Every structure is written in structure tokens, then in C-alpha cells.
């Protein structure tokens, strides 16, 4: 099948991302204040306000606006998504998981506050995410708030992020098929992006057709994010090494370039971008402009 990627609608995307991220940061800062007990709130704020790209909150707000809702209605869910994403990073970095020392350009949470506090800070962020949506989405009909909460819960739990992480852990040192690799990424990355757009549409008053369109869009950009990540790992390290085989072509970890070859991985990325934009074709182009640009942004990222 021939891949057709439509031209991008004209739209000030960088400005859009920056201004939305700024308002999300402000809302997060106000939501997680430095109160008693100071240590746990410091640890929560340390990772939450460490300057991520805020892709999930922006996806949520953009999807809410796509169906006619406004930014302020989506803000509690947008903040919850970032709390959940951040807690998953804090736990992922722990010595018993990936054992990473740096995240978002700073020492990881457990390096600064200790493992015990890092685990608790993650737990507190996860719990607060759900409390915040339930307590602050006061202008949205309760049935929509409950649907959004259910969507968030399923994106996190044993059929969501946690499923992706356990499958990833179990796959270590084993031969992983393309299907298994896709399944890990769908759960570790795509599920929360799906929840972001689906919750945005639910809160914005959208219908089931709209929900399913954005869900498919998010699944494509979630996989796209990982394929691009894998390709960048190869090209980055081959530049560093001055060789054709980069780090991830020789390391243990299963990646798309390793399983299908770099050219097919690039083609797969193109297919995913085309599929993502196909789902958006259902909506009015001008309203969907931020989502088109987000997909291109993920596809063309250079680092």
C-alpha cells in the first residue's frame, strides 16, 4: 500500500506547545504545593517540575479542543496524566528497575531523596492523579469524569503501563519477536498517550466515533515514538563510533532496526505517521492542526 502523508496545515506549533506547557506547569506547581510533610512534597515536586516536554497533557488539551471543549476543563486530567507519567519514570529509574542516575537532565529522584522516598513520591503522585481529576473536574458531567477516570486507571494498571513494564522485564536476555516488541511498546508508551487523547475527547464532550479515532491516532504515534527512538539510538551511536553498526545493533535490547533492519524501520515509521494522519482526516483540518503537528514532531525528532 502506498504511503500518503498529507501536507501539514499551517499552524504555529512551537508557540502552541510552549504556551500550553507553560500553563500546564503552572497548574502542576499550584496543585502540588510544598506542604507538610515537606520531604515527600519536595520529592514529588522535584520530578514533576523537572521540565519534561508535557506531550501527554498537551495531547489531552488538544483533543478536548478538537471536539469543542476548552483548556480549563481538560486541565485536571492533563495534570493527572503528567503525574502518572512522572511517577512511572521515578519508579522506572529505581535500582530494582532500570537503575538510572539521570532523568530530565537532573539526578534521579532516588539519587537525591533515597529509594524509600522515591517509591513513596511515586505512590503519592499516582494517588493524587486520581484524586485531582475526581475533585477538580467540577464543571464536567459526572458520567464523563467517571469514564475518564476509568480510562486513566486502565492505562496505568496490569493491562497498561505495568503490563508493558513486566513484559519488558521478562523479555530481558531473550529473543523477542516483532509482535512481542510491539506489544511492549503499545503498553509502556502508547497506552498513556491513548488515555491522554481519549480523556481529552471525553471531557470535551466528544462521541464514541471521535474517541475511537483519536485512540487509533495515539496508538500510532506511541509506536512511532519508539521506532524513532530506536532509529535515533542507531544513528546517534554510529556517528559517535564512526561505524555503520550503532550501540543498539550490538547490545542485547530488542529494537526495530535490529529486528527488521534500519531501512524497514524507517519505512515503518513513515507508515505509522501516515496511519496517524489518516485517523485525523475524520476531523476538520483546522481543529486537528495541533494533533497533525504533534505526530510530525514525534516523527521528525532528531534527539
How far is 152 from 37, CA to CA, in rounded Å?
27
Which of 156, 203, 223, 276 binds ligand GRG (CB under 6 A)? It is 156
Question: Binding to ligand GRG by residue 162, rule CB under 6 A?
Answer: yes
Report helix, strand or coil for 256: helix
Nearest Cα residue to 44 out of 78, 76, 77, 91: 91
> Given the complex with ligand GRG, which of 88 and 277 has the nearer CB atom?
88
Residue list 116-135, contact with ligand GRG (CB under 6 A): 126
Q: Which residue is nearest to ligand GRG (CB)?
A: 52
3-state helix, strand, coil in the chain (%, to 5): 75, 0, 25
Which of 63, 88, 108, 109 binds ligand GRG (CB under 6 A)? It is 88
Which of 24, 59, 66, 89 binds ligand GRG (CB under 6 A)? It is 89
Least Å from the CB of residue 242 to ligand GRG: 27
> Given the complex with ligand GRG, which of 34 and 169 has the nearer CB atom?
169
Tell me the site size for ligand GRG, rule CB under 6 A: 18
Question: Cβ of 208: how many Cβ atoms within 10 Å?
Answer: 9
Query: Are 79 and 28 a contacting pair, CB within 8 Å?
Result: yes
Question: Binding to ligand GRG by residue 189, rule CB under 6 A?
Answer: yes
> Given the complex with ligand GRG, which of 288 and 294 has the nearer CB atom?
294
Least Å from the CB of residue 72 to ligand GRG: 22
How far is 170 from 266, CA to CA, in rounded Å?
27
> Given the complex with ligand GRG, which of 103 and 144 has the nearer CB atom?
103
Nearest Cα residue to 220 out of 75, 64, 3, 40: 3
Query: Are 64 and 203 a contacting pair, CB within 8 Å?
Result: yes
Residue list 45-84, contact with ligand GRG (CB under 6 A): 52-53, 55
Amino acid at each position: 500500500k502506498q504511503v500518503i502523508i498529507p501536507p501539514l496545515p499551517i499552524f504555529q506549533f512551537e508557540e502552541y506547545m510552549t504556551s500550553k506547557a507553560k500553563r500546564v506547569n503552572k497548574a502542576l506547581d499550584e496543585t502540588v504545593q510544598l506542604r507538610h510533610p515537606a520531604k515527600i512534597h519536595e520529592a514529588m515536586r522535584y520530578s514533576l517540575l523537572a521540565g519534561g516536554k508535557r506531550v501527554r497533557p498537551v495531547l489531552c488539551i488538544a483533543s478536548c479542543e478538537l471536539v469543542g471543549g476548552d483548556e480549563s476543563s481538560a486541565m485536571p486530567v492533563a495534570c493527572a496524566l503528567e503525574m502518572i507519567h512522572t511517577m512511572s519514570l521515578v519508579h522506572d529509574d529505581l535500582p530494582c528497575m532500570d537503575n538510572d542516575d539521570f532523568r530530565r537532565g537532573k539526578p534521579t529522584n532516588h539519587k537525591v531523596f533515597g529509594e524509600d522516598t522515591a517509591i513513596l513520591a511515586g505512590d503519592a503522585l499516582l494517588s493524587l492523579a486520581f484524586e485531582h481529576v475526581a475533585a477538580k473536574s467540577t464543571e464536567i458531567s459526572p458520567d464523563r469524569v467517571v469514564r475518564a477516570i476509568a480510562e486513566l486507571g486502565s492505562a496505568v494498571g496490569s493491562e497498561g503501563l505495568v503490563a508493558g513494564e513486566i513484559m519488558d522485564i521478562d523479555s530481558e536476555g531473550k529473543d523477542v519477536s516483532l509482535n512481542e516488541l510491539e506489544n511492549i511498546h503499545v503498553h509502556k508508551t502508547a497506552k498513556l498517550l491513548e488515555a491522554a487523547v481519549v480523556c481529552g475527547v471525553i471531557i470535551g464532550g466528544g462521541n464514541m466515533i471521535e474517541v475511537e479515532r483519536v485512540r487509533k491516532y495515539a496508538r500510532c504515534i506511541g509506536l512511532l515514538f519508539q521506532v524513532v527512538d530506536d532509529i535515533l539510538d542507531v544513528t546517534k551511536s554510529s556517528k559517535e563510533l564512526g561505524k555503520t553498526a550503532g550501540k543498539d545493533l550490538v547490545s542485547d535490547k530488542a529494537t526495530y532496526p535490529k529486528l527488521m533492519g534500519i531501512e524497514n524501520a524507517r519505512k515503518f515509521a513513515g507508515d505509522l505517521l501516515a496511519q496517524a494522519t489518516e485517523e485525523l482526516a475524520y476531523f476538520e483540518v483546522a481543529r486537528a492542526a495541533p494533533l497533525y503537528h504533534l505526530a510530525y514532531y514525534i516523527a521528525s525528532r532528531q534527539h
